[in-house]
Amino acid sequence: MATVTKLDNGLKVILKQIPGATAVSVWIGYHIGSRNERPGMTGSTHWVEHMLFKGGGKLKKGDIDLLIGRLGGKLNAFTDTDFTAYFETVPADAIDTALFIEAERMRNAAFEQKEFESERTVVISEREGAENMPEFVAEEELWSNAFHIHPYHWLPIGWKQDLQRLDRDTMYRHYLRYYAPNNVAMVVVGGFDEAATMEKIRARFGGFKPEQPPEPMNLKEPPQMGERRSVIRKPGSLDHIFAGWHIPEFSHDDTPKLAMLSAVLAGWRGYHPFAAIGWQPRSNRLYKALVEAKLAIDVTCRAEVKIDPGLLVSHVAVRSGVPPEKAERVLFNEIEKIKQKPPSKVELDVARTQIHAWSGFENDGVTYQGMITTFFEMAGGFEKYDHTISAVDRVTAKDIQDVARKYLTENNRTVVHFLAEEVKA
């Protein structure tokens, strides 16, 4: 069970005690992601995240690594379309170190010009490493083609041209504007005393003044009026197909039905991206139709967790020698089949059982629990994660068909083919 407290300055604190845990994970999620960016400043939110490892206030450059390193702790940060999150996992008796770092990070980051410039090439290097991967190139194309108005048009890493041009002052203003207590949820999970921890949090964060509430991001993607398609031809090893259908925001009532739909189609690998590395579910329709049938070597399907209406994305890594059109035809046939013929009882049982089991697997330990709680808090409320997991029990075969018919339509989809050209030596 979690305890939720709101400080006077607007900072929301979510505490989840795990009796006996020897570690504690402190997460801070800011309601600022690439959806809050504007053309010309794409990638700035992610760049700010990098700058917040470079000291400021009572922290010299390198101190964050040093302080957490000496404790044998873990730390990292993530920038998403909808939020930016930072965490430290430390021995339970060292929670104050994590709180100290996050307090300094919230209001006192240095943003020195020299550091800003040296980070420019690091961020560009991160993007260039991703550009080496066909999956990144194709997925960037998918989102940019599926969203013409809404900022989901670009990925959190941003366009390279913007990364080459962005200046320090714009970024620093962005930081001051959004890194304020009233734009934050703090999540603490692990072994701690609740009252003492709240006291520490008030002492560290209670004095921070709130900023004006962030202006609402009102851009809405208009309904898609027909299929959108693009082709990328690049040297590579395999062809890839990405297909995305517009779906509603995570807090929508259809979310549990879409979770079940994607599980019946391609199996379940949990909500967060780290717990399922290497696991390939095989008792699902798309695996049987594409991988078992020797048309693909992998297929996935995921309903994205987003604040605003997002996408249900399916990815097919096409087997060598198979025309991508053929694999695509089979993919869309399977989508049509589920509209015509409801999933069987066994399919429903497998999907439900896997979703429930994965809610345990992806909450393994204090760090992952902190991650799940923060990610879902940022997407509309941490309690919605548990609601979604339990709501899948009430999803019927007809519900699955209904959401398939409603969202997985030709007019509502965007398709990208990455066609691998022969690599010239």
The footprint of other proteins on residues 41-80 (CB under 8 A) is: 53-54, 61-62, 64-66, 68-74
DSSP H helix total and E strand total for the chain: 15, 11
Applying CB under 8 A, which of residues 58, 220, 234, 337 lies at the interface with other proteins?
A: 234
Nearest distance from C-beta of residue 258 to other proteins, angstroms: 19
Does position 410 bind other proteins by CB under 8 A? no
Nearest distance from C-beta of residue 403 to other proteins, angstroms: 21
Nearest distance from C-beta of residue 187 to other proteins, angstroms: 15
Question: Which is nearer to other proteins, 7 or 263 (by Cβ)?
Answer: 263
Stretch near other proteins under the rule CB under 8 A, chosen from 233-241, 245-253, 326-334, 379-387: 233-241
Distance in Å from the first CA to the final CA of the chain: 58
* Angle between helices 255-266 and 324-340 in degrees, nearest 10: 130
Counting Cα atoms < 13 Å in the Cβ hemisphere of 408 gives: 28
Binding mask 4-43 for other proteins (x = CB under 8 A): --------------xxxxxx--------------------
Does position 231 bind other proteins by CB under 8 A? no
Which 306-345 residues touch other proteins, going by CB under 8 A? 317, 319-320
Question: Which is nearer to other proteins, 38 or 424 (by Cβ)?
Answer: 424
Parallel, antiparallel, or unpaired for β 413-421 and 310-318?
unpaired
Nearest distance from C-beta of residue 377 to other proteins, angstroms: 21
Nearest distance from C-beta of residue 345 to other proteins, angstroms: 11
- Residue 419 is given by DSSP the state E
Question: Which is nearer to other proteins, 182 or 373 (by Cβ)?
Answer: 373
Question: Which is nearer to other proteins, 225 or 277 (by Cβ)?
Answer: 277
Question: Which is nearer to other proteins, 118 or 390 (by Cβ)?
Answer: 118
Stretch near other proteins under the rule CB under 8 A, chosen from 168-176, 196-204, 254-262, 346-354: 346-354
Question: Which is nearer to other proteins, 54 or 302 (by Cβ)?
Answer: 54
Residue in 209, 184, 207, 182 with CA at minimum distance from that of residue 14: 184
Nearest distance from C-beta of residue 94 to other proteins, angstroms: 8
Which 116-145 residues touch other proteins, going by CB under 8 A? 117-126, 128-129, 131-133
Does position 162 bind other proteins by CB under 8 A? no
Q: What are phi and psi of 233, to 5 degrees?
A: -110, 120
Nearest distance from C-beta of residue 347 to other proteins, angstroms: 9
Which 187-226 residues touch other proteins, going by CB under 8 A? 190
Does position 273 bind other proteins by CB under 8 A? no
Q: Strand 84-91's sheet: what is its strand order?
A: 2-6, 12-17, 184-190, 23-30, 84-91, 74-79
Interface size with other proteins, residues (CB under 8 A): 78
By the 10 Å C-beta count (0-12 exposed, 13-18 middle, 19+ buried), 230 is classed as: middle
Residue 175, token pair as written in the block: 């930081």
Which 362-381 residues touch other proteins, going by CB under 8 A? 363-368
Which 79-118 residues touch other proteins, going by CB under 8 A? 89-92, 117-118
Nearest distance from C-beta of residue 53 to other proteins, angstroms: 7
Q: Which residues of 14-43 are buried (b: 16+ CB within 10 A; e: fewer)?
A: bbbbbeebebbbbbbbbbbbbbbbeeebbb
Question: Which is nearer to other proteins, 48 or 379 (by Cβ)?
Answer: 48
Q: By the 8 A CB rule, do 264 and 337 touch?
A: no
Does position 406 bind other proteins by CB under 8 A? no
Amino acid letter, residue 396: T
What is the rounded distance in angstroms from the CA atom of residue 206 to the CA atom of residue 388? 33
**Contacts of 65 by beta carbon, 8 Å cutoff, 6+ apart:** 53, 75
In which region does residue 270 sit, left (phi positive, over 0), alpha (psi from -120 to 50) or beta (all else)? left
Residue 84, token pair as written in the block: 């930016």
Please give the full DSSP string across 344-387, using - where no structure is assigned. Answer: PHHHHHHHHHHHHHHHHHTT-HHHHHHHHHHHHHHTT-THHHHH
